[in-house]
Amino acid sequence: MKNRFVLALIFFLSGAMVSCQKDLYTSRLHPFPTYVDTESKPVQYQEKKVYTTSEGVSASNLFNGARLNGFEQINDSTFTATIEPENTPINPSPWYAFQLWGSSPRKVYLNIHYTHGKHRYTPKLSEDGLHWRELDTTRLTRIGNDVQLELDLKADTLWVAGQELFSTNHLQAWLARKTRENEAVRVRSYGKSKLGRDLYTATLYPATKKNKQLIVLMSRQHPPEITGQLAFLHFTERLLEDDSLTRTFRQKYQILLFPMQNPDGVDLGHWRHNAGGVDLNRDWDRYHQSENQQMADYLISYANKQQASVVLGLDFHSTWEDVYYTNRSDTATVYPGFTSRWLGGIKESISGYEPDIQPSNIGQPVSKGWFFVTFGAVGITYEIGDDTDREFIGVKSRIAAEKMMEVLLQK
C-alpha cells in the first residue's frame, strides 16, 4: 500500500511539473510588411522519356533532378535541348540536367535553348553522375540568351547538368552514412511533401538537461542551389567531428537539421519552385505550402518539448557570388552582436577574405526574418556563388562552423 502511494505521488508530481511547463513558442502567423502571394499555382511537368534521333544521338531525363523538355536534331551534327520552367513568373535561374549518348563516338554541337530567362549555370559533365568536371569554356558559345556546347559523345552515357547533382537519393545516402559514422545522429521523417516525398530532419547531438539552446540549419528551398547544399554538408560535417571544441559545444547546444526543404522541386528538376508552383522562401508567414507549415510545426513542437531556446537559424542558398544576407540588426535577438562577431571571425581566419554582408530590414516573408519574428533568433541566409571553387566552399564552411561554435560558447 505504501509503495502504491509513493508511486501515485510520483506520477502526480510528474504530471504537475509537465503541466506547469509553459511553451516557449506558439505556432501563430506573423504577417510580414511585404505581402507575397504563395497560394498554389499550376506547374508544368516535363514528359519523362528517352529522345532518339535519326543520327543515333539520344537524350534522356529519366532520373531524379533531370530537366529536359524537348530534344531535336537540327542537322547531322547539331541538336537542340529545350529547357522550360515549371511555371511563370519565375526567378531567371534556368536549370538543366540530362543524359546524352551516341550510337558511335562523335563530336556534336548541342544548343541549350531556354524558353524563359537566360543561361546561368556553367555546364558540368560526368560519366557516372557522381564525379563532375566543368566544360572547357572554349567549348561553349553564347548565342543571345542561349548557349551552344561542343561535346564528344560515346556509346556510354554523358551526363550534362547546370551543377553537380544532389537529389533525394544522394541525401538519403548521406544521412545513412552520417548515422553509421556517429551514433549521436538521429534522422527521422517529420512529414511529407506535396507529392509524398519524405521531409527529413536530423539531430546531431543528444538532448540533455543542459543543452537547452538550439541552432537550426536548413537548405535547398530552391532546387538548383547545389553550392549552398555543399556548404551545408561541409558545415554539418565539421560539427560532427570529435574534438575539444565540439565536445564543449554539444554540452550547451543542440543542432537540428532540415537538409532539403523542397524535395519535390529537387527531384522534378524545377528552376525555383515546389510542386505547388511557389517559391518556398516567400511563404514564411501564411504557410500556404505544406512543406513550410510542417517544418514550422515540427520545430516549434521540438523546441517546446525540449524547453530549448532557438538562438540561431542559418539557411544555405546559392546566388551569383558569395554573400551573407542578414537582418538589419540583431540587437533585439536572444544573442545581440552574434552576426558581427561571427562574420568578423570568419574574415580573420581566411587570409585576404572580405565577407560580402548585405543587411536588410524585415520585408518579404523569407526564412531569416522568420527566425527572428518567431523565435527572437538570429537569422542569416548563407549564400554561395554558383562558380565558387568547390575546395574553398569546404574550407570556408568548416571555418564558419568553428567560428559559430567559438562565438556561441562565449555567450
- In terms of Cβ atoms closer than 10 Å to its own Cβ (0-12, 13-18, 19+), residue 34 is middle
Question: What does 38-88 look like in DSSP terms, one character per residue?
Answer: -S----PPPPP-EEE-TTSEEEE--STT-B-SEEEE-SSSEEEEEE--SSS
Kind plus residue range of the DSSP H or E element containing 214? strand 213-219
Residue range 358-388, pLDDT digits in tens: 999 999 999 999 999 999 999 999 999 999 9
Is the per-residue pLDDT at 18 higher than 50? no
What local confidence, expressed as pLDDT, does residue 12 receive? Answer: 34
| pLDDT value, residue 20 | 52
Average pLDDT over residues 224-235: 98
Q: Of 22-26, 43-47, 284-288, 346-350, which range is least confident?
A: 22-26
In order of start, what are the domains of the chain with their CATH numbers?
23-40+167-409 (3.40.630.10), 50-161 (2.60.40.3120)
Residue 90 DSSP symbol: -
Three-class secondary structure of residue 408 per DSSP: helix
pLDDT (tens digit, 9 = 90+) per residue, 135-170?
A: 999 999 999 999 999 999 999 999 999 999 999 999
- The answer, yes or no, to whether residue 312 has pLDDT greater than 90, is yes
Express each pLDDT in 47-66 by its tens digit: 999 999 999 999 999 999 99
pLDDT tens column, 84-105: 999 999 999 999 999 999 999 9
Cα 292 from chain centre: 13
What is the tens place of the pLDDT at every residue in 249-270?
Answer: 999 999 999 999 999 999 999 9
Tell me, yes or no, if the pTM score tops 0.75: yes
Q: Is the pLDDT of residue 30 over 90?
A: no
Q: How far is CA 161 from CA 82, 120, 144, in A?
A: 13, 12, 20
Residue-averaged pLDDT of the chain: 94
User: Residue 213: pLDDT above 60?
Assistant: yes
Q: At how many degrees (to 10) do helices 390-409 and 226-239 cross?
A: 50
Nearest-angstrom CA–CA distance, 197 and 289: 14
